[in-house]
Amino acid sequence: MTVLRTTPFDDQRPGTSGLRKKTAVFRQPRYLENFVQSVFDAVGDVRGQTLVLGGDGRYHNREAIQTILRMAAANGVGRVLVGCGGILSTPAASCVIRKHGAYGGLILSASHNPGGPDGDFGIKYNIGNGGPAPEKVTEAIHARTMEIREYRMLEAPDVDLDRPGTSVLGSMAVEIIDPVEDYAQLMRSLFDFDAIAGLLRSGHFSLRFDAMHAVTGPYAKALLEDALGAPAGTVIRGEPLPDFGGGHPDPNLTYAPELVAMMSGADAPGFGAASDGDGDRNMILGRDFFVTPSDSLAVLAANARLVPGYRDGLAGVARSMPTSMAVDRVAAELGIPCYETPTGWKFFGNLMDAGKVDLCGEESFGTGSNHVREKDGLWAVLFWLNILAVRRQSVAEIVVEHWARFGRNIYSRHDYEGVDAGAAQQVMTQVREAGERLPGTALAGRTVSVCDDFSYRDPVDGSLSSGQGLRILFSDGARIVFRLSGTGTEGATIRIYLEAYEPDASRHGMDAQEALAELIAAAEEISRLKAITGRTRPTVIT
Ligand code: VG1
Ligand code: CO
């Protein structure tokens, strides 16, 4: 074992979900090493413990795994479970940590950000409950990166990541495990596979799943094609590639155009879905129909009792603050609590561990439950398929009926990506200052009731997280929220979240951009975003 001298990098603060940088930044000498040693130094005594390690297969994944294994051995870790080929989706890693009682895990991914030598790379630490490290842990890791002086490394040859079985590295065991098996077994325990297989055999139903050349390909093939009997070819772009085939592995209407095209027209499949780089996001489509992630969460909550794993009902639900309030209406009718947390899955962990919630979601295509402590793309797909198998209605019919019952929370998010960081700050300052004068005034044909900067007190451990997004709340339930992204690697991304509640079923068919036009204009009026940033339109509209 060698102890190597190093000096700190001043840009290693984890964001919404781990540390994400350009691949070239991660490939600098000592960059990954500094961060990994800081994790080992900050998360407690890892000596003799079991860790889980894997990634989404993006460029630099294998090299990073070899480095981390040598460092883990040098730091006295007892055993590391590594997904074969270096592959573990984020939800599968969470599942493996929980099932094998691991101390924690390291997941290599920049999620939905593009990969490759000119793309992004990332790393995040998950704790023993299988979930992303909470803020107090990520802050401790960051503090350590600012003072690090040395790291430990074992001189050893590469481990063969493609041969299942156990080997040793120094005195540490390295177990190469099947990345799909534990996860697939968990899915079988939650969903009615016979009912879904029956739907697929009925002759009236087919589906497409777009794995976007990211990590979910092997998982989707094993579950949808092999276990449930969907025909070969159901999973498209199913082979994980280091650069995701040059695509942007973000499952939305902009970055999954092939799937969107396949889902349009009278002959289109009844169900379409896609997942992101590391497999924790999902996009749900019906024939000529897009289900917003916020609506999807509400539909899953309202139909949970149809699914074996949730047959006894839900204890509670949670959503991130910018997510639409559709699920709040379901919770109210079910008589269960609904928690509102800051953006990022790490805020759901405590609520799930305490048994307060079992279903949660974010507007950013993230849905999940207490089966793991991450959002889970394929889980959401199977949940929808289970509902479709029981209700035997189309996706559109289910959502339209849902709106008729609960009203529709018309919703959209406008992203301005790669904005100059100073200009983005200026936009936020402008909104904050304008917000001081707005309450009580008329705007977008409504009355503003509250303007604030969202902060959250965790009901379990009492920790406070402030500065989580500027909210403009209207007395009729409409909202405009401004937030800066914490996952980007270039400049800043401004996100504007827009929501209006529409109880009148005769207006539920409206296009969201039209229905929200007044709020969109008001957002511009308040923020002066176009003048400040020079942008004329959003990069992505969801
Ligand atoms: C985005 C989403 C957030 C999500 C996070 C990680 O964060 O808005 O809801 O939890 O990505 O998702 P931000 O700070 O850029 O808005 V994943 O699938 O990328 O790890
Ligand atoms: Co992701």
Indicate whether residue 281 lines ligand 1 (CB < 6 A). yes
Output the CA–CA distances (angstroms, integers) from residue 349 to 131, 158, 360, 439, in the order listed. Answer: 6, 35, 10, 34
pLDDT of 69: 98
- pLDDT, residue 233, reads 94
**DSSP per residue over 361-382, as a string?**
EETTTEEEETTSSS--HHHHHH
pLDDT digits (tens, 9 = 90+) for 65-117: 999 999 999 999 999 999 999 999 999 999 999 999 999 999 999 999 999 99
240 in Cβ contact with 217 (< 8 Å): yes
Structural contact between residues 533 and 424, judged by C-beta atoms closer than 8 angstroms = yes
Which numbered atom of ligand 1 lies nearest the CA of 113? 19
Q: For the chain, what percent of residues have pLDDT higher than 90?
A: 94
Q: Where residue 1 falls among pLDDT bands split at 50, 70, 90?
A: confident
Residue bearing the CA closest to ligand 1, atom 20: 111
Q: What is the pLDDT of residue 460?
A: 93
Q: What is the pLDDT of residue 103?
A: 98
Atom 8 (ligand 1) nearest CA = 364
Look at the block and give the residue holding tokens 């079910």. 334
For 314-357, write each residue's pLDDT tens digit.
999 999 999 999 999 999 999 999 999 999 999 999 999 999 99
Which of 111, 324, 412, 485 does the annotation list as catalytic? 111
Most ligand 1 atoms within 8 A of CB, residue of 17, 212, 360, 415 to mutate? 17
Strand-pair category, 207-210 with 235-236 = parallel
From the number of C-beta atoms within 10 Å of its C-beta (0-12, 13-18, 19+), residue 447 rates as middle
3-state secondary structure 287-301: CCEEECHHHHHHHHH
Stated as kind and residue range, the H or E segment containing 350 is helix 349-353
Q: Report the C-alpha gap between 25 and 10 in whole angstroms.
A: 12
pLDDT category of residue 395 using cuts at 50, 70 and 90: very high
How far is it, in rounded angstroms, from Cα 118 to Cα 109? 15
* Cβ atoms within 10 Å, residue 233: 9
Nearest CA to ligand 1 atom 2: 364
Q: Residues lining ligand 2 (ion), CB within 5 A?
A: 111, 276, 278, 280-281
> Which ligand 1 atom sits nearest the alpha carbon of residue 90?
20
Any catalytic annotation for residue 111? yes
Check residue 71 and give its pLDDT. 98
Per-chain mean pLDDT for the chain: 95
pTM for the model: 0.93
30: pLDDT strictly greater than 80: yes
Question: Does 16 sit in the ligand 1 pocket, CB within 6 Å?
Answer: yes
Residue type, 477: G
Does pLDDT of 203 surpass 80? yes
